[in-house]
Amino acid sequence: MIWHDAGELAVGDLPFPVKAQNPTLKAKIDWLEEEAVVRMGGPISSKYDEVIKRRAKCADLIEMWEMGHTELLLGNKFAKPIIDDIRKAIQELPLTPDDAVAVEAYLNKFLELCVESN
């Protein structure tokens, strides 16, 4: 999954809510990103196992969620709805039961550490 974000170099990276709320646009952007990766010499992502793709998506969402919390800790109150939307998206991912437990444990530990640092 080293190529996971490579297509965004050519296509750009739309904000999370834009893709989440526009499935037709998301499908087109995903196609454009995959074409860009192939032109760069990367693999076709549709050949990846679904579990691996979901794990990569989860890692991407967790990174956004963490950044949202960083913004919130810095005083940006506008980050709260973004944090909530991303958390919901993480919880809705069809992860394996073991992955879901591990992700939930990580998110809870992260929140614990945020509270301690305040």
Return the closest-CA partner of residue 65 out of 101, 25, 104.
104
Q: Are 36 and 26 in contact (CB under 8 A)?
A: no
Domain ranges of the chain: 1-47, 49-118
CB 64 within 8 A of CB 86: yes
Residue 76 confidence (pLDDT) above 80:
yes
Quote the pTM value: 0.77
Model confidence at 15: pLDDT above 90: no
| pLDDT at position 67 | 94
Taking each helix axis from N to C end, the angle separating 97-117 and 79-92, rounded to the nearest 10 degrees, works out to 160
Longest dimension (CA), the chain: 46
Q: Are 3 and 43 in contact (CB under 8 A)?
A: yes
| More confidently predicted of 52 and 100 | 100
Cα 73–19–41 angle (5° rounding)?
A: 105
